[in-house]
Structure 1
Amino acid sequence: MLTIAQATYDAIVAHAKRDHPVEACGIVAGPEGSDRPERFIEMVNAAGSPTFYEYDSTDLLQLYREMDQRGEEPVVIYHSHSATEAYPSVTDINLASEPGAHYVLVGTREHGNNEGPVEFRSYRIVDGQVTEEEVAVVPTLSAEATEAAG
């Protein structure tokens, strides 16, 4: 189960809506081994595509160095699907290289940039196997909430 703070959930959804129809992408980092998505990091889709996302390799390298220095790891790796269901594509599955991460997909196809609900789904992707998991949105991320949900 992914336990995520309301503010982080809102930031991911806002990014997905703002970038629609281009796929939005980013990472939520947390302390290594904690499974606590604490630090929201909005990235730029270097592909600028409505059907594919790609991190700028320089930005991604810099982010991983920064996470290493801070003792963090990617807890959530997110992107949006602007025209299809919020389910990992074959490309998404092939690019999933963090077996401990939660892969969040936000579907914006119904309302785009406008007010209205989105699909917000989380998956574990390990060795090409996709498993959907529950998402618990909590007011704030406390150690107790993470442990109780986990």
Structure 2
Amino acid sequence: MLTITQDLYDRIVAHAKADAPDEACGVIAGPEGSDRPERFVPMLNAARSPTFYEFDSMEQFRLDKEMRERDEEQVVIYHSHTATEAYPSRTDISLAQEPGAHYVLVSLAEEFQFRSFRIVDGVVTEEPVQVVASYA
């Protein structure tokens, strides 16, 4: 299960809406081994596409370095789908390289959706999302 604060949930949704019609993407970092999303990091969709996202390689390099220095890891990797349901595409699945991460997809299609998945070795498993006021 993904447990996420209302503030982080709202920030992901706002980023998805702000970047439309292109897909939005980003990371929520958290302390290593905690499975606790804490630090919202919106990323640039280098593909600037309504059907595909790609982290900017230099931005990704800086984020990876920063997370190592802060003893953090990618707890949530998120992106939006602007015209399709919030379910990982074949491309999303093939690019998923963090087996411990929660892959969040937000759909801005006719029916808004906020869903989370685990993707390990190409196998997609949906998980419940619990939105909380705080982690206290």
For the aligned pair, the TM-score class normalised by the smaller chain equals over 0.9
Matches within 5 A, 1:134-149: 134-142=128-136
Cα offset, 1:10, TM superposition: 0.2
Q: Is 2:115 the counterpart of 1:121?
A: yes
CA offsets 1:70-95 (integer angstroms, 9 cap, x no match): 00000000000001110000000000
Aligned partner of 1:32 in structure 2 is: 32
Q: How does 1:70-109 map to 2 (within 5 A)?
A: 70-109=70-109
When normalised by structure 1's length, the TM-score is 0.89
Q: CA-to-partner distance for each residue in 1:58-110, whole Å, 9 max, x for gaps?
A: 00011000000000000000000001110000000000000000000000012
Per the alignment, residue 51 of structure 2 pairs with 51
* Local SS of the residue matching 1:18: helix
* Matched residue type, 1:140: S
4+ residue runs over 4 A deviation: none
SS in 1 for 2:45: coil
**Could you say what the CA RMSD is over the residues aligned between the two structures, in angstroms?**
0.8
Query: Who is 1:133 aligned against?
Result: 127
Extract unaligned runs of 5+ from structure 1.
111-116, 143-150
Q: Distance in 2 between matches of 1:52 and 1:139?
A: 32
- Which position in structure 1 is the counterpart of 2:11? 11
Amino acid at match of 1:108: L
Q: Tell me the number of residue pairs that the alignment of Structure 1 and Structure 2 aligns.
A: 136
CA distance in 1, matches of 2:112, 2:98: 25
The secondary structure found in structure 2 opposite 1:79 is: strand
Offset at 1:141?
A: 2.1
User: Max radius of gyration: which structure?
Assistant: 1
Identity %: 68
Letter in 2 for 1:39: R
Shift of 1:20: 1.1
The residue type equivalent to 1:86 in the other structure is: A
Structure 2: 5+ residue runs without aligned partners? none
User: TM-score with structure 2 length normalisation?
Assistant: 0.98
